Structure 1
Amino acid sequence: MTRSHSPRVEAAVWSLATAFGYFVLAAVSLHATKGADNIAAVWPPSGYMLALLLLMPAHARLASLVGMAAASVAANMLGGSSLALSAAFTVANGCEACTALWLIRRREAGELSFMVPRSFANFCVAALSASALSASIATALVGAALGGRSLDFFLSWLTTVALGILIVTPPIVTLARLIGSKALEHAPARMKGEAVLILTATAAVTAAAFSQAHFPSTFLPCIAVVAAAYRLGPFGAATAMLIVTIITSLLTGQGMGPVAAIEADRTTRVLFLQFYLLAMLFTTLPLAALLVAQRRLARRLEQSNRSLLQAEAAALVGHWRVDLVRWTIEWSDQTYRIHGLAPGTPVDVEYSMEQYLPEDREIAQGILREAVKTGQPFEYQGRLRRADGEVRHVKSHGLIETGRGGKPVGIFGTLQDVTETVENARILEAARNAAERVANTDMMTGLPNRRHTLAFLEKAMVGARDHGAPLAVAIFDIDHFKRINDEFGHAVGDEVIRRVARRAKASLRDEDMVGRFGGEEFVCVLQRSSAQAAELVAERLRKAIEADDSSDDLPPATVSIGLAVYDGELDAEELLHRADQALYTAKREGRNRLRLAA
């Protein structure tokens, strides 16, 4: 009920609805199906009262309990009970409703849901506990009049009230919430038609089974209620159960059906009917709740699988599993796509490994064998040849599944296509190397520049210092280079520098390096060279540069060279300084010559 009026008006409306419904249900129940001591076989007003208490706002409950009390006293007196006995029954029923509500609110943080098995179990506990309390109160209040029959009265009250709550409350609460959420308005017409058909069939089957006693057909209503639970969920199960209860109670009360034909006293027949209804109730309602939970779980699982497949396709990641007991393999759809196969194509363990290139296959097999042996997670990367012949780079990692006793029973792994990553890394490495070459190369001559030459010399000095290998450094520059620039121009001067660089590089050994320090100055790093060997190499370089070559129109050029042999210097600057001093000596003595530092 939506709150569109003041609290007092709303409380009055709920009180009237409670009083009217309770009176009608109580009067009909007492008239149609009476057991021993005027106790009905099923007491629907208890379920009706609890349903309203669960649905109504808290401020309307007190007024509704007053309305219920008035309706209860009136109905019981109309059924033939005295005022005192009617008041006693009313007190017991009122306590039972309040107790059930309190227990439900205490055990359920939110709304009570009959679609959740745990919530339904809490509802059953509350209903049975409240019924037991109600039965105890009623037995205590009318005990003097019962004499030795108080136990029969207690059991009869307990089962009657419990059935009323368990059977009537769920359909009322569920229907009210469906109406409030407008779920019925949005339900497809086909679904509504199916619900009406199933519930009508339930009524017809129940009426047919309990209108005669010749054929044992009490199982037919059970089938109908189970069908309602399966197709319509908790609401269908609760409504079908209510229909079965109404029809069986009415027909049995009229002396019809298999229960009325039992050769026993009236109390025994009533208890058998109650047992029949309770058995059906505790079979169908939990079944309906479990079916709802299963369907929700199936939907979540389906959504999770769909999301997993979409994530795998977007990330180019698949998964696979090898059963080590049956020696079979399972692939996800994306794993098939990575291999260039249609999903579902039959594959085996051998095929999955044969697709790797031979050298990568051996590595992968070794890693997997070691993982199975140790039980540790694994990771490997390799190249596989797809069904269309294309080679792809893939990466796999996973873990070992173990069974009882820690014995490995399976291998689970993921497979990722990393071809683009590998290609991007290769391109990036090539770009980095190109950038490094540019950063380390003199653009005019193509020789190592000053920074690279110094770094190479520092590394060579570390080797000479650690291993005692001989090392020498030669510094040379072009004699009278300013005169060449002035007489022939800077363009010709640049060409002369290039020719000197080419001849210097050609005259050195593979392990040696020549770099341009700047302008017309060059440095040679002569590795594993003693003083005598270094002089021979440096002299060969000087003569190569001096040699006349008529193949070009460039002016001749000579160089002066200063040579220094490594003698334990602490840094490159100190060694270069000694070579530079030797170069100055060569220039002072006339140029185009080699001088060795002292």
Structure 2
Amino acid sequence: MTRALPPRVEATFWLLLTALGYFLLAHLSLHATKGADNIAAIWPPSGYFLALLLLMPARMRIGAFVGMVAASLSANMLGGAPPLTAAAFTLANACEPVVALWVLRRREPAMISFMVPRAVGSFCIAAMAASIVSAAIATLLAGTGVDFFLSWMSTVALGMLIVTPPIIMLSRMIASNAMRNATIAMKVEATAILTGAALLTVASFSQSHFPATFLPCVAVILASYRLGPFGAAAGMLIVAVIAALLTGQGLGPIAAIDGPQKVKIFFLQFYLVTMLSIALPLAALIVVRKRLAKRLEESNRWLLQAEAVALVGHWRVDLVRRTIQWSDQSYRIHGLEPGAGMTVEGSLACYLEDDRVRVRHVLKQSIASGAPFEFQGRIQRADGDVRHAKSHGSIEMDRNGVAVGIFGTIQDVTETVENARILEAARSAAERVANTDMLTGLPNRRQTLAFLEKAFAAARDDGAPLAVAIFDIDHFKRINDSHGHAVGDNVIRRVAQRAKAPLRETDLVGRFGGEEFVCILRGDSALSPEMVAERVRKTIEAEDGVAGNLPRVTVSIGLAVYAAEASVEELLHRADKALYVAKSDGRNRLRMAA
């Protein structure tokens, strides 16, 4: 709100807010509960000033310090302190926020939050460091002893620890509209709890017949649990103010202690510090627990959504109790209603018999070795539909290395398997197209050479028999010129079909290009290659072309038997030279390579 004001107005606002508030709190503290050396049991001005410094813009802090110094001098002198003593005490009090801010800046660079345990710890460290420095300065300047040092340190530390947190949290709640957005039920509950804390504190510290100092502790813990850090801080402030005022008036169990005044003050401070050390961390831990619970709830919800989208479930087998737990998605994958009873044997029975044996074997091996596992099998759903499911997971071991559980995931991969099958079929079809001569249906040049390379390697490495026959159609150009290319294509197609007839399954005939073909003879065929090649020639020659309105044709064949050639090209070259000889000798004949 103040940031919208002009700079001078804003500076004046913070100066007056600091000066007036500090003066009133200091004056009331000095005239209410007094301890040894006229030091109040709690020094709220220190906490009030530190809270304002944390809330105001950094550029306004110099003016705030001016207001604090003026207020402190006035309150101390009005309380009866000599001017020099008042100046010494003011200097000591002015050093407190400087030290506290320095420690907080080093430990918590961002804005301090009392809902984070680490930040609460940092604030406590800063308050203690500031109170020690302040007490040391006051003791040196005032020339007093250890008792004064301890009294000042505890008084200032309590002022910061008790007053600063509720002021900061309340101002932030107002700035963020949290107070306005709170429901009536929440406001009523908060008011009732804090009022109850005040009443219990009054009841405990207004009499000394019954030792009931534990009742305010119960109220503060309840406030911490129901209202969070603000409830803890506000409850502590209420308890501290009431307890200090009543004790200062000589009422309550602490005032009834048989001992000097400083002992009573120290006991009251110890009581408040003990309660504070429980309330603030407890409230922060409750906030953390609630945040973790909310985050866990969100994570579980996102996990369920992710499993549903990805068709992935998870499961766990307890090897000690022989029980199994399934996630909701695991039930859906099996076609079952989530939450239905399931046993280890029942889950395995969902797999088809052939896959069930393999799954058992994989899990047994994984349990024995402790290694992760992965398997895929077919499950039969409750509706009879068969689905492909893939699981992988790990073995849980105890401290002695004994397997105590199995954790795994299960995914419906039916669509993936089906897509893979379709893709493989398409790949095979594409490969067949890529390796097949479209006119004849025989292997094309690339596939024929690949087949020959393998046969050549076997002949070279293992001594397997191998022979190659190259043949082409005699006077094919004349057929194209006389009858047309369509008839020529039909002739090539007919020759290809006839050439396959005399060959064994281990052999191959492929179209090398145009009217040229290659026969690759292996095994028994390669042991008598001339006989096989001659059968090919005679089969083509004997074809009755009239039946298909096709001209009768013959072929010339060049044959080469593997003779330790260095390459496939050399073997083909020998067969090609033999073909040239067959043509030169009149065609329609077979010739062996030299």
- TM-score with structure 2 setting the length: 0.90
Aligned residues: 593
1:571 to 567, 573, 588: 567
Q: State the secondary structure of the residue aligned to 1:404.
A: coil
CA distance in 1, matches of 2:494, 2:487: 10
After superposition, residues 429-440 of structure 1 pair within 5 angstroms as: 429-440=424-435
After superposition, residues 152-551 of structure 1 pair within 5 angstroms as: 152-262=147-257, 264-529=259-524, 533-547=528-542, 549=544
The offset of 1:8, in angstroms, is 5.2
- In 2 relative to 1, CA 503–224 (structure 1 residues): closer, same or farther, beyond 3 Å? same
CA distance in 1, matches of 2:579, 2:382: 68
Q: Is the 8 A contact 2:224 2:282 kept in 1?
A: yes
The offset of 1:548, in angstroms, is 5.3
CA distance in 2, matches of 1:369, 1:30: 79
CA distance in 2, matches of 1:521, 1:372: 63
Q: State the secondary structure of the residue aligned to 1:507.
A: coil
- In 2 relative to 1, CA 466–95 (structure 1 residues): closer, same or farther, beyond 3 Å? closer
Structure 1 match to 2:591? 595
Matched, 1:582 2:578: yes
Deviations 1:386-427 (A, max 9, x none): 333333333333333333244443333333333322222222
Q: Is the 8 A contact 2:504 2:525 kept in 1?
A: no
Residue type at the aligned position of 1:559? V
Structure 2 match to 1:72? 72
Structure 2 match to 1:58? 58
CA distance in 1, matches of 2:102, 2:568: 91
CA distance in 2, matches of 1:279, 1:336: 53
Deviations 1:502-539 (A, max 9, x none): 22212211111112223333221111246772222222
The offset of 1:430, in angstroms, is 1.5
Q: Is the 8 A contact 1:171 1:235 kept in 2?
A: yes
Q: State the secondary structure of the residue aligned to 1:112.
A: coil
CA distance in 1, matches of 2:418, 2:17: 77
Q: State the secondary structure of the residue aligned to 2:46.
A: helix
Deviations 1:277-298 (A, max 9, x none): 2222111111011111222222
The offset of 1:215, in angstroms, is 4.3
Structure 2 match to 1:45? 45
Q: Is the 8 A contact 1:222 1:280 kept in 2?
A: yes
- In 2 relative to 1, CA 30–570 (structure 1 residues): closer, same or farther, beyond 3 Å? same
CA distance in 2, matches of 1:548, 1:63: 118
The offset of 1:234, in angstroms, is 0.9
Residue type at the aligned position of 2:419? N
CA distance in 1, matches of 2:219, 2:114: 20
Q: Is the 8 A contact 2:525 2:532 kept in 1?
A: no
Q: Is the 8 A contact 1:472 1:529 kept in 2?
A: no
Q: Is the 8 A contact 1:381 1:396 kept in 2?
A: yes
Deviations 1:140-196 (A, max 9, x none): 44446xxxxx44443333332222211111111122222333433444444334323
CA distance in 2, matches of 1:257, 1:122: 33
CA distance in 2, matches of 1:589, 1:34: 137
Q: Is the 8 A contact 2:332 2:338 kept in 1?
A: yes
Q: Is the 8 A contact 2:200 2:219 kept in 1?
A: yes
Q: State the secondary structure of the residue aligned to 2:528.
A: helix
The offset of 1:89, in angstroms, is 3.0
CA distance in 2, matches of 1:440, 1:230: 78
Aligned alpha-carbon RMSD (Å):
2.9
Q: State the secondary structure of the residue aligned to 2:394.
A: strand
Q: State the secondary structure of the residue aligned to 1:115.
A: coil
CA distance in 2, matches of 1:501, 1:297: 77
Q: Is the 8 A contact 2:2 2:10 kept in 1?
A: no
Structure 2 match to 1:119? 119
- In 2 relative to 1, CA 238–460 (structure 1 residues): closer, same or farther, beyond 3 Å? same
Q: State the secondary structure of the residue aligned to 2:339.
A: coil
Matched, 1:560 2:556: yes
Q: Is the 8 A contact 1:530 1:565 kept in 2?
A: no
- In 2 relative to 1, CA 541–281 (structure 1 residues): closer, same or farther, beyond 3 Å? same
Q: State the secondary structure of the residue aligned to 2:355.
A: helix
Q: State the secondary structure of the residue aligned to 2:3.
A: coil
Structure 1 match to 2:25? 25
Residue type at the aligned position of 2:446? R
Residue type at the aligned position of 1:101? L
The offset of 1:216, in angstroms, is 4.1
Q: Is the 8 A contact 1:471 1:529 kept in 2?
A: no
Structure 2 match to 1:147? none
Q: State the secondary structure of the residue aligned to 1:509.
A: coil
The offset of 1:129, in angstroms, is 2.9
Q: Is the 8 A contact 1:371 1:377 kept in 2?
A: yes
The offset of 1:322, in angstroms, is 3.1
Deviations 1:244-283 (A, max 9, x none): 2222223333344444444555444433332322222111
Residue type at the aligned position of 1:132? I
CA distance in 2, matches of 1:191, 1:455: 83
Structure 2 match to 1:35? 35
CA distance in 1, matches of 2:237, 2:268: 14
The offset of 1:540, in angstroms, is 2.3
CA distance in 1, matches of 2:475, 2:507: 26
Q: State the secondary structure of the residue aligned to 1:228.
A: helix
- In 2 relative to 1, CA 199–486 (structure 1 residues): closer, same or farther, beyond 3 Å? same
Residue type at the aligned position of 2:46? S
Q: State the secondary structure of the residue aligned to 2:190.
A: helix
Q: State the secondary structure of the residue aligned to 2:110.
A: coil
Residue type at the aligned position of 1:201? G
Matched, 1:133 2:128: no
Gaps of 5+ in 1: 145-149
CA distance in 1, matches of 2:384, 2:245: 78
Residue type at the aligned position of 1:164? G
Structure 2 match to 1:92? 92
- In 2 relative to 1, CA 139–498 (structure 1 residues): closer, same or farther, beyond 3 Å? closer
